[in-house]
């Protein structure tokens, strides 16, 4: 179970995340919606330990940071390396393991992995970041606007990867376009001006 308690983030005098308190089950697909500029990405950065904040984010009784992986547009890619080299370095695994990883193969074929990422399109760079987030196999995955910039094959790969892990993993997705149908998701939260404005549980099952 992910427990977020009184989490706030301020830049100067502007409070971007305002006293967010949530409990999210340890499995299933959970969507955080809301228009751009309302704090979704900042909230994700706080949860991943990439931004300082007040309040807490805990995975059961432990800090959340060692239990989470994240994919967002600002994730670093080393353009002097190939896709294979980037993933080997990010995941700290041998290149042979990268090629065999089922999540990576969903998003990137061998030909694309062999190319330097300096030649990648925006959509291909997004696929690499998503592949890394799933290949970490952490119990909680944060996906910030994951479908943005993906072509049809990329979106199909994304949906397939989410379906594969949803029974054993807490997948939290920020989405302002409504791309994830309620039949697929367990719960949905709306963030507005840094506050959780509404909550909808689509499935009654809870996994604590």
- pLDDT tens-place string over residues 190-206: 999 999 987 887 665 44
DSSP state of 130: H
Burial of 152 (0-12, 13-18, 19+ CB in 10 A): exposed
Cα distances from 200 to residues 17, 57, 168, 196, 203, in angstroms, run 20, 21, 21, 11, 9
- Where do the domains of the chain lie? 2-75+138-201
Global confidence as pTM: 0.91
Give the C-alpha separation, 107 to 131, whole Å. Answer: 6
For 15, 45, 66, 191, the CA distances from 80, given in Å and listed in that order, are: 38, 26, 28, 38
Q: Which CATH class is domain 2-75+138-201?
A: alpha beta
DSSP3 helix / strand / coil % (the chain, rounded to 5): 35, 30, 35
Q: Which residues pair with 141 in a beta bridge?
A: 69, 171
pLDDT tens readout for residues 176-189: 777 776 678 899 99
Reference 33, options 175, 129, 172; nearest CA is 175
For the segment 88-115, what is each residue's pLDDT rounded down to a tens digit?
A: 999 999 999 999 999 999 999 999 999 9
Q: Are 176 and 35 in contact (CB under 8 A)?
A: yes
């Amino acid at each position: 179970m992910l427990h977020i308690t009184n989490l706030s983030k301020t830049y100067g005098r502007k409070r971007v995340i305002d006293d967010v308190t949530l409990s999210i089950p340890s499995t299933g697909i959970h969507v955080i919606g809301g228009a751009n500029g309302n704090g979704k990405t900042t909230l994700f950065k706080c949860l991943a330990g990439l931004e300082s904040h007040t309040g807490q984010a805990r995975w059961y009784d432990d800090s959340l940071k060692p239990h989470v992986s994240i994919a967002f547009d600002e994730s670093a890619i080393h353009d002097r390396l190939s896709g294979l080299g980037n993933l080997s370095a990010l995941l700290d695994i041998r290149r042979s393991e990268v090629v065999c990883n089922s999540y990576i193969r969903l998003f990137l074929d061998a030909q694309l992995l062999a190319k330097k990422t300096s030649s990648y399109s925006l959509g291909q760079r997004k696929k690499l970041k998503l592949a890394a987030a799933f290949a970490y196999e952490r119990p909680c995955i944060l996906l910030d606007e994951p479908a943005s910039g993906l072509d049809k094959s990329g979106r199909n790969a994304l949906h397939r990867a989410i379906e594969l892990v949803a029974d054993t993993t807490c997948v939290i997705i920020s989405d302002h376009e409504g791309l994830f149908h309620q039949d697929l998701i367990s719960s949905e939260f709306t963030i507005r001006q840094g506050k959780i404005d509404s909550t909808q549980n689509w499935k009654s099952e809870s996994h604590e």
